[in-house]
Structure 1
């Protein structure tokens, strides 16, 4: 089928070993297993009602169907209610992954709302392009299991129901399934298949038809998972799953703010954190992937150390310390031999597609480890990670420019430019101070003093080299690499710069200062505290951020002045970052205002995106973004503390 999938999704379901994304009509777009970052297997799964030879696909916002989508309260079960007055039917569905099992349940309750009896077929068309590889896929029908099995290599997926099917076909295209005839083909080297169930409903009658998607590494085990699913009703699976998620939320720290709207997003964030954490490895993904071909971005279903440091700090706040422990255990597998942590990684610790070293990544990991230790004071944890901290801090120390005391140039947190970035310097400050704390615990007092002094040197360097007296704000960075054209243009206009000779006759063009106002400048004080939040320099920088980065009409804060990524929209996490700063300086009213903006721009299902369209205020990019949810959680606790 190879259907073009949307960039934006409306919901995610999963259990930390399976993860799926869906639209508001219940259409499934993607399914990851046995890890939540890769591989992804679903091309498309479609469901519809067939009367005569016409199939009415009710997971489309067409053919007279209207849809309502929402999560169950305190649960990751997604509800989709589809209504069609013309068809005289309502289809109420529930979609969820069963905790602890490689099983996805899609339960459909079909009601005849007309005045006459109805007879029709319920049709499922499934296309599994396993591992997103169009080669060597096979679909077969297992008569004993009454199931379609899609497989390739070590990935097997069974699709069936608790009710015996009426017809089936392995290897039927999307175009052919529209004709409504399934020919009983048992096996085909194609990724597609279809099943149908003949149903009859009296007026007012409802029938429940569950569709199970079971995963395993071979046919026997995949069928076993399916047979296990049939041992109880889908209603019982839903009750069990709801109970699991309700218990999960109840075991977390209660929302510290008495506000129904904040509490709802607080609990939704707790639920989302679990889905974004891989059960097998401990990795935390930035977001479920939505741009596999890198058509508009570089992908999101990877683990960034920086994002995760903010996220784990939020996890500790809400009491999900086990997820934090698992993540930092995983970081030990992802560290490079030289002690660095590179830009981003796959769940197995291997380097993901990258643009080069971001010095703040490793620094943030060490900082996050220390924040985690401060919450738990677990000496076993400190001992376990000490070898990695030692190597990591040694790498950070080797990356300091002795002329300025600042870290050497690397790629910025937005992955767009090379410079000695002020935010990155603050992150390294935080990382070295954290490493100093761990060194003291390990009895390495000389190292502790050495790293603390290096950190103090970074702090002094930020004050000495990174403040723009003219604009009364911190520079985004110094020693910014630019094109030859940009260099000539700016130096002719009076800006300072220099040219470096590189290997093989290449040249590097460098401007001495990067004056662009960037939200990440707030990170100098919140969270890394290289410069106190109350200092005049930080206050004037924060005021410049709010003045220059607030988006007219729609509101919210964009990343930096000349941002063009996806149109240059306001972000949720950037707006909450400003809230953090305002809370840190005691301006509760301003911080609460920015929090409200984030609350007002949740999606229909209560998730936080990355961006909001600067013209319409609608969700613009990436749903959900784990870092957005983390920044909200941190805002909640800062609000509670400020009050």
Structure 2
């Protein structure tokens, strides 16, 4: 199965939909953001009399895509001078139920009348299964009789209907050589009218219409999911009883009200509309990948479910979640993300640590970092650190179950120290084993945060003990991991130093604030550490940005630059600018920001990896990257008084 990268995401916190550059419906996750994935293909095409059939991904179309202002709705626009047509497709998900709205506006660009058929192909894999499906064309009686298509597998149901009735349909087998496969049958502009199929199925629907010279027409579709035929048909009828624009206005109001609840004064300072759209898309990413019913986020919408080119992304890593928690707390949603720690209560192992990654229901996801000497113990530390970021904002105590979870995590971390250094484990890039500067920094941050949380809980003795552990771990960090040029990446499992340049050493500066930048010696350490990353891991981009790789020799995702690493350097540089007053650090931060802003998807999503010299990317809709882009923007705009202008 090929790996296709989405360009945009939409959803409502329980449903997550991914779209391609040609408005392809690439994935529909329901009833949670991680599973099940119900779509294999969802493609639009037209048949124009006098020309023939054209898929919207064809070379005869020029296309653009963007998020509409202040809402997670996507507009994809197509122009074809050859066909003399323009088509716009608007997509958004209902704020309150698993319903996708699609609207097509078709316009004639010249003085010739046109007869055409607008057609949509679906290959659905309900429940994540290709086989044992059933699909049928039926009559939807409300609000007025019209055709609808329903497909089901077990208790997963999908229903599709439209404002103006479909005039063509075909159910068939999804096998390439099947005699009734609807996809090849679309090419002559006609569908055979078959109303039922079982097995590995697909279907297509269509409208036919005429457009006068320079005229236009539009059609809308409602795609509803549910647990029964009755539920799906009820959703279809209820939503088709209102116009597309009525639903769109409700969607606009919901997202704009959410935006108003955020503490984002800096966003008003952004004047460039493209930049503002990218920052809004980062906020949409944070919200859409956070499952409201589960209280935990995905790393990114899954796009590689067979793990052909990666280990997959549609899971919760506690590390990534911790960084989102920090940003959400900073922008005024500490109460919302405090639910993550309730999720941690059920996800925590009996020993007190957190596994490599999870399904959103808290069960263990497919993993390769589970052995005792391959644990990513920084994830456990990150949970404790993130808890303090939230509860200090809320100015309230954690609940008893949450405090017990944090206490057990701290006890586990203490057992992982030998001579002040954490035991052998896996690094945050999930590539190397050893004792890492970054992991050591996360332990120090966890013990410091645990000490503050213990004070909050009235446990002074525990607070002092954790503070002592933090001091011991920092002493070991400075003694064993520091060199005159910067911090080591790690000590290997045998205790030998690994001098490989690695961006994760920036963790001693941001976000864990391990080095005290008010002290000259530690400030110089921080500057040398950041300078080493710049020298060995950063490259200038064509637009004047600064892209950063995760570590020297990194070949992941075809050797692309890392968005988290680039933003990491930017955040560290902001801290150094604040501590030293040196303008060059602010320039570095701005260049890092510029590299990320200029290398998004066409719709404006940030991805985990990007090609700084091209347009390729990897893992779009990456929550960690989105959250740090928001943080870095806030820090840069806080420097406006000193002349920093984005």
- When normalised by structure 2's length, the TM-score is 0.89
Q: Please give the secondary structure, in 2, of the residue aligned with 1:585.
A: helix
1:153 alignment counterpart = 154
Give the match's secondary structure for 2:252.
Answer: helix
Corresponding position of 2:563: 572
Mapped pair 1:366 → 2:384:
yes
- Counterpart selection for 2:297 from 284, 303, 314: 284
How far has the Cα of 1:58 moved from its partner?
4.1
Q: Give how far 1:52 is off.
A: 5.9
Aligned partner of 2:508 in structure 1 is: 524
**CA offset digits 1:437-488 (Å, max 9, x no partner):** 222222222222222211211111101111234xx2111111x24xxxxxxx
Match of 1:37 among 29, 34, 37: 34
What whole-Å deviation, never above 9, does each CA across 1:116-160 have from its counterpart, x for those lacking one?
A: 433332222111012332221111112235211121112111112
Matches of residues 337-352 of structure 1 in structure 2 within 5 Å? 337-352=350-365
1:76-104 deviation per Cα after TM superposition (whole angstroms, max 9, x unaligned) = 11111112233232212101101111100
Between stretches 343-352 and 315-324, larger displacement belongs to 315-324
Take 2:70 and 2:136, find their aligned partners in 1: how far apart are those partners?
38
Q: Look up the match of 1:102.
A: 98
For 1:7 and 1:118, locate their aligned partners in 2 and report how far apart those are by CA, in whole Å: 34
Distance 1:73 1:574 in 2: 29
1:140 to 136, 144, 147: 136
Given the alignment of the two structures, is residue 436 of structure 1 paired with residue 445 of structure 2, yes or no?
A: no
Listed one character per residue, the Cα deviations across residues 475-504 of structure 1 (whole Å, up to 9, x for unaligned) are: 1111x24xxxxxxxxxxxxxxxxxxxxxxx
CA distance in 1 between counterparts of 2:615 and 2:220 reads 34
In 2, distance between residues paired with 1:115 and 1:641?
Answer: 54
Aligned residue for 2:149, secondary structure, equals strand
Q: Which of residues 394, 397, 409 in structure 2 aligns to 1:392?
A: 409
Residues 32 and 40 in structure 1, CA contact (< 8 A), matched pair in contact too: yes
Confirm or deny: 8 A CA contact 1:432 1:451 kept in the other structure. Answer: yes
Bigger mean CA deviation after superposition, 92-101 or 552-561: 552-561
Measured after TM superposition, the shift of residue 60 of structure 1 is: 1.2
Equivalences for residues 255-266 of structure 1 within 5 A: 255-256=265-266, 258-261=269-272, 263-266=276-279
Q: Is this contact kept in 1: 2:108–2:213, CA < 8 A? A: yes
Match of 1:214 in 2: 224
Is the aligned partner of 1:242 residue 2:249?
Answer: no
Q: CA deviation at 1:245?
A: 1.3
Change (3 A) 1:89 1:322: farther
Partner in structure 2 of residue 548 of structure 1: 536
How far is 1:641 from its partner?
Answer: 4.2
Does structure 2 retain, via aligned residues, the 8 Å contact 1:473–1:541?
A: yes
Q: Which ranges in structure 2 are unaligned for 5 or more consecutive residues?
A: 142-146, 173-179, 370-374, 578-584, 642-646
**Secondary structure of the structure 1 residue equivalent to 2:263:** coil
Q: Do the aligned residues in 1 keep the contact of 2:345 with 2:401 (CA within 8 Å)? A: no
Partner Cα distance (2:46, 2:560) in 1: 41
Question: Are the aligned partners of 1:571 and 1:612 in contact in 2 as well (CA < 8 Å)?
Answer: yes
Q: Larger deviation: 428-437 or 515-524?
A: 428-437
Q: Which residue of 2 aligns with 1:475?
A: 488
Matches within 5 A, 1:65-84: 65-84=61-80
CA contact (8 A) 1:249 1:271 kept: no
Q: Which residue does the alignment assign to 1:451?
A: 466
Structure 1: tracts of 5 or more residues without a match: 482-509
For 2:191, the equivalent position in structure 1 comes to 182
Cα distance between partner residues in 2 of 1:34 and 1:18: 6
The alpha-carbon distance between structure 1 residues 284 and 364, as it changes in their structure 2 partners (threshold 3 A), is same
Aligned length: 604
Secondary structure, counterpart of 2:607 in structure 1? coil
In the superposition, relative to structure 1, how do residues 55 and 283 fare at CA in structure 2: closer, same or farther (>3 Å)? farther
1:588 pairs, out of 586, 589, 600, with 586
Distance 2:576 2:399 in 1: 32
Question: For structure 1, which segment, 150-159 or 411-420, has the greater mean C-alpha deviation from structure 2 after superposition?
Answer: 150-159
Q: Which sits farther off after the overlay, 236-245 or 587-596?
A: 587-596
CA distance in 1, matches of 2:402, 2:133: 42
Q: Please tell me whether the aligned partners of residues 599 and 611 of structure 2 are also in contact (alpha carbons under 8 angstroms).
A: no
Deviation string 1:378-434 (CA, Å, 9 cap, x unpaired) is 23x354510111111111111111xx2111011100000111111101101111221
